[in-house]
Chains A and B, each alone.
Chain A
Amino acid sequence: MTFLEYRLKTVPTGPTKLLHVNWPLVVLLIAIASVGFLMLYSVAGGRMGVWAEPQMKRFAAGLAVMFFVGFVPIWFWRNMAAIAYGGSVLLLVGVEFFGSVGMGAQRWIEIGPLRLQPSELAKVTLVMLLAAYYDWLDIRKTSRPVWVLIPIAFIMLPTALVLVQPDLGTALLLMTGGAVVMFCAGVSWWYFGAVAGMLVGAVAGVFASRGTGWQLLKDYQYRRIDTFLDPSSDPLGAGYHISQAKIALGSGGWAGRGFMQGTQSRLNFLPEKHTDFIFTTLAEEFGFIGAFSLLILYALVLAFCISSAIQNKDRFASLMTLGIAATFFFYFSVNMLMVMGLAPVVGVPLPLVSYGGSSMLVLMAAFGLVQSAHIHRPR
């Protein structure tokens, strides 16, 4: 649909938009972020200033961004999709040359006070572009090979740039996020079957290449895989993180050890306890009840997003909302699988809870897009 086709009279304008905001979603996001504030206060040893306070300020900024993005009509964002995608690809190229090095990989660019990870941005812009692409495409052509190869190229471009950094985790999230949009757009099952087959081959290739001249992954990535497959093989080295995370999680028990009473986090046995492993602190201090409640909050966010997407008659809006929901889903599920020892350690933060600026702002902007789709849905 072009904006001319929207029955503009039925789309809310001005302050009335406030009434049409997806308020339950806003409440859920605030609740999740509040869990984060609580845990950041706890892992800092009961100090606000270390992590909790900066995180609150960022979340406030994030909420502002969300409302701003949400109030801008959805057709504007659709028209911006290609530009946004192009911009984030340029940033990904730029990060190769001007980026700061951290954890053995080039990942971020400093723009004034803001530390931007272009790969975060790319996850959302890729979803926007693919949704716009399928909105534009004649639905009868959806499964034709040429028209399938184009979105695959869209996906592979940022993925390749992220892999060069090298950031395997984000690359996988980009691919799966893109794949979800293609799936929802109605691309034939056969393609997904073929890709799944190729993936199996790729995994075999990755393992076969180990130690040879054409080794596909870095040594530390192989070690992470080893450690994932058998954490006890190196309990004081690479397996240390995952073993300690599992101990923290399991020792929480049913009701947890009490707020600020988690020995694993308080005594520094947990690695990265304010970022990637923050969930273990929650599980340790609030037990199964606390950890499961957070999981339910996340699931509810997904539920609201999916129901909003299904109710929306606008193809771009639905696909984009589903794509963003999927990205959000991959974030928290990969993080939880990782800390529970079901996935290798791949540096993925727990969305809205882990300490970190750019990922939160990008995520809130993405939810802004979801709100925009919701507010400006055709009625």
Chain B
Amino acid sequence: MRRSARDTEESAGKITRRGLLLGGSMAAVVAVLGARMRHMQVDQADEFRLLAEDNRISIRLIPPARGLIMDRNGKLIAGNEQNYRVVISRDDAGNVEDVLNRLSGILPIAPEDFDRALKDARRRSPLPIIVADRLSWDDVSKVAINAPALPGVAPEVGLSRIYPRDTDFAHVVGYVGPVSDSDLAKLEEPDPLLQTPKFQIGKIGVETWMEDALRGKAGNRRVEVNAVGRVMRELGRQEGVAGGDVLLTIDADVQNYTQARLGEESAAAVVMDVNNGDLIAVVSAPSFDPNLFVRGISHNDYNALTENDHRPLANKSVAGAYPPGSTFKMVTALAALEAGVATTASSVNCPGYLEVGGRRFHCWSRRGHGRVDLDRALSESCDVYFYDLALKVGIDKIAEMGRKLGLGERHNIPMSAITEGLMPNKAWKQERYGTDWRIGDTVNASIGQGYVLTSPLQLAVMTARLATGKSVVPRLVQSVGGVAEPFDAGQPMGLTPDMLDAVHKGMYAVCNSQRGTAYGSRVDDKTLKMSGKTGTSQVRNISAAERARGVISNANLPWDRRDHALFVGYAPYDAPRYAVAVVVEHGGGGSTAAAPIGRDLLLRALSDGIPPTSAYPASQRNRIDTMHRNLPLRAPDGTPPESTRA
């Protein structure tokens, strides 16, 4: 449109003014931008630099190799094996489901693992997801060959626990397993290692009690990660410290012999060096394969273990509490001798029973033993003799002697569920039941029945202390990380040689005199002869009516109502080296079910290998040879016997 010159002038003037105003406001905004830049990049630079470093640098722990567990001769009990697994990282895989589908065409992936991996992938976890674990080298090679078709999939190698002597050490060494929430809750300041995926800690046995020594210290890697957590490069590395090796006092071969000798019986046995307390074998049968637990046991396998009436999961050698029966009689005898209420020569008449407070307490021999002294009372296991001693000395003195010998005490070795047993006295009963101690309780306790409860470990300690007269302390660990653990051979317990000799003589007679209860399990070799004591402890009450009709023999009772068979012993009788305690649950008589095992174990501990046939009485040698030939023993390198191999 046509404009006058004035209008044009005015228009241009206005535009100039407003344009300059516009330019001024823009300059103000630019100044604000510049100031903000300066503030963030100069004043706050350090803060932001720190945040940027936080973003990109991630510290990854390097799990240390777990310490090995070996026997006294360095034979491997718990080791680490390389474990191949396949992981997938989400940001490289693209479509995780596609890749997993392709992968499952190559590897056997369980449907539940497949679903779990897919779920993990949806959770956008920055860490690689473990798809398959414990793969063979073949499977890993297949993955490597097909790598181009499997973006984001990578094989990884880690260490996992293996127990080459599987069943032999299940109860002693235990096993490792994944860290549970309750494991973490127990610790005040959990090692950050415990939160690394797939990390395993000791769950039971030596593995858990020696956890601190075995675990080692984690190393770490400073890595640069991208926004989705993938490692781009390593910035620095600090190596960790591998866990310390633990050397046990156990002899793996004796342990294996013991396990095989107990067989499928529900039984426990402990072999101990009487001079320094070293535990040579600690066995509970039947056993189980701890490797199953490391890999994650299936429901079927676990149910089979829990439903077995022989309780393979129970650690009977230290956790089982049994009435010691006649194996307790040495305690009663020593209590009486020490108190001076009886001498080594005193004798008692046994008519087959003792009347106490109007109640009749029977000797195992209905006809009675006639006049018996300590020697015969032990060798023929006369009950009445000990009833008599107990009445004279009283329960408190007996309990005191029992404690002195290691009963009723929790021996501190790194195993799980160690029982204290029970060494009752008057005060205990008052506190526990609120009733007075009765004279009948003393009578029952004198022969190791009633309230008295002991574990095979305690019985072995008792036997070692009887053999040496010293308060020797059991020890399971020889050295940790090359540093020897102290042992305690014990102090003399204040028992006079007279008393000890009298008991030793009695125990010798048990195994070597014609009428001894363990004469059938005697040793022929003079240098290997043993002393011991059998025990048969009732697990049921025998009513007066039954006694009148005739006591039902073990063979006619259901398995779980039969008597427990026990044997304690040491050898050689004149220069003791090893003590043994054997408990066969519901095994029947101690002399028939437990003593033969005790003899074999002592001879095995004393010999280098299978005990020589010449040590056995001539009449038994064929049977023993056959037994030894059929024993499912491991090869020296630990490989399992043919018969049990799958």
Chain A residues at the B interface, C-beta cutoff of 8 Å? 1-2, 5, 135-139, 180, 183-186, 244, 246-254, 263-264, 267-269, 283, 287-288, 291-292, 295, 298-299, 302-303, 306, 309-310, 313, 315, 318-319, 322, 325-326, 329, 333, 336-337, 340, 342
Closest to A247 in B: B51
CB <8 Å contact, A246 and B48: yes
| Residue with the highest number of chain A CB atoms closer than 10 Å, among B36, B45, B52 | B52
User: Within the assembled complex, what's the spacing in Å between the Cα atoms of A268 and B227?
Assistant: 5
Q: For B45, what are the chain A residues with a Cβ–Cβ distance below 8 Å?
A: 250-254
CB distance from B618 to the nearest CB of A (A): 84
Verify B52–A184 contact, CB threshold 8 A.
Answer: no
> Which residues of chain A are within 8 angstroms of B8 by Cβ–Cβ distance?
313, 315
Contact across chains for A269 and B227 when beta carbons are under 8 A apart: yes
Q: Which of A246, A248, A299 counts the most B-chain CB atoms under 10 A from its CB?
A: A299
In contact, B55 and A263 (Cβ under 8 angstroms) = yes
Q: What separation, in Å, do the CA atoms of A253 and B39 have in the docked complex? A: 10
A333 touches B30 (CB 8 A): yes
Asked if B30 contacts A254 (CB within 8 A), the reply is no
List 10 interface pairs A-B (beta carbons < 8 Å), by A numbering.
A2-B1, A184-B15, A250-B44, A263-B56, A267-B56, A267-B232, A283-B41, A291-B41, A299-B27, A336-B33
Asked if A184 and B226 make an inter-chain contact with CB atoms under 8 angstroms apart, the answer reads: no
Q: How many whole Å from A272's CB to the nearest CB in chain B?
A: 13
State the CA gap A135–B1 with chains docked (Å). Answer: 8
Q: What is the chain A residue whose CB lies nearest that of B55?
A: A269
The CA of A325 and the CA of B232, in the complex, are separated in Å by 44
Query: Is B16 close to A, CB under 8 A?
Result: yes
Contact among B2, B11, B19, B22 with A139 in the assembled complex (CB-CB below 8 Å):
B11
* Interface 1/0 per residue, B4-43 and A, CB below 8 Å: 0001101110111011101100110110111011101110
B546 interfacial contact with A, CB 8 Å: no
B10: contacting residue among A1, A139, A250, A292, CB under 8 A: A139
Q: Please judge, given known A-B contacts A254-B41, A283-B37, whether A299 and B15 are in contact too, CB under 8 Å.
A: no
B225 beta carbon closer than 8 Å to chain A: yes
Q: Within the complex, what minimum Cβ distance (angstroms) separates A180 from chain B?
A: 6
Q: Is B49 a contact partner of A253 (Cβ separation < 8 A)?
A: yes
Taking CB as reference atom, which chain B residue is nearest A306? Answer: B23
Given contacts A250-B40, A302-B23, A333-B26, 7 further A-B contacts (CB under 8 A): A5-B2, A184-B18, A269-B226, A288-B37, A291-B37, A295-B34, A306-B20
B112: chain A residues at CB < 8 Å are none
The 5 closest A-B CB pairs, nearest first, are: A250-B48, A251-B52, A253-B45, A288-B41, A268-B227
Chain B residue numbers with a CB within 8 Å of A186 are 11, 14-15, 18
Number of inter-chain CB pairs below 8 Å = 148
B interface majority secondary structure: helix
Judge whether B47 is part of the interface by a CB distance below 8 angstroms. Answer: yes
Q: Say yes or no: B52 contacts A333, CB within 8 Å.
A: no
Q: Type the 1/0 row for B214-226, where 1 means its CB is closer than 8 Å to any CB of A.
A: 0000000000111
Determine the interface band of chain B, counting residues with CB < 8 A from chain A: 35 or more
On chain B, the residues within 8 Å of A287 by CB distance are 41
Instruction: Tell me whether chain A's interface is mostly helix, strand or loop, or mixed.
Output: helix
**Among the listed A5, A248, A310, A337, which residue makes an inter-chain contact with B15, where contact means beta carbons less than 8 Å apart?**
A310
With both chains docked as a complex, state the minimum distance between the C-beta of B227 and any C-beta of chain A, in angstroms.
Answer: 4
Tell me if B484 is interfacial: C-beta within 8 Å of chain A.
Answer: no
Q: A267-B232, A295-B34 known; A248 and B52 CB under 8 Å?
A: yes
Q: Is the CB of A340 within 8 A of B10?
A: no
Q: Is the CB of A333 within 8 A of B22?
A: no
Known: A180-B22, A263-B56, A267-B56. A253 touches B42 (CB 8 A): yes
- B299 on the interface (CB 8 Å rule)? no
Query: Which of A1, A246, A336, A342 has the most chain B CB atoms inside 10 A of its CB?
Result: A336
| Neighbouring B residues of A306 by C-beta, 8 Å | 19-20, 22-23
A326 contact set on B, CB distance < 8 A: 22, 26
A267: B residues at CB distance < 8 A? 55-56, 224-227, 232
B97 to chain A, nearest CB (A): 23
Q: Which residues of B contact A249 (CB under 8 A)?
A: 37, 40-41, 48
Return the chain A residue nearest B13 by Cβ.
A186
Collect the chain B residues with CB atoms within 8 Å of residue A333's CB.
Answer: 26, 29-30, 33
Q: Select B3's contact among A1, A185, A248, beta carbons within 8 Å.
A: A1
B38: A residues at CB distance < 8 A:
288, 292
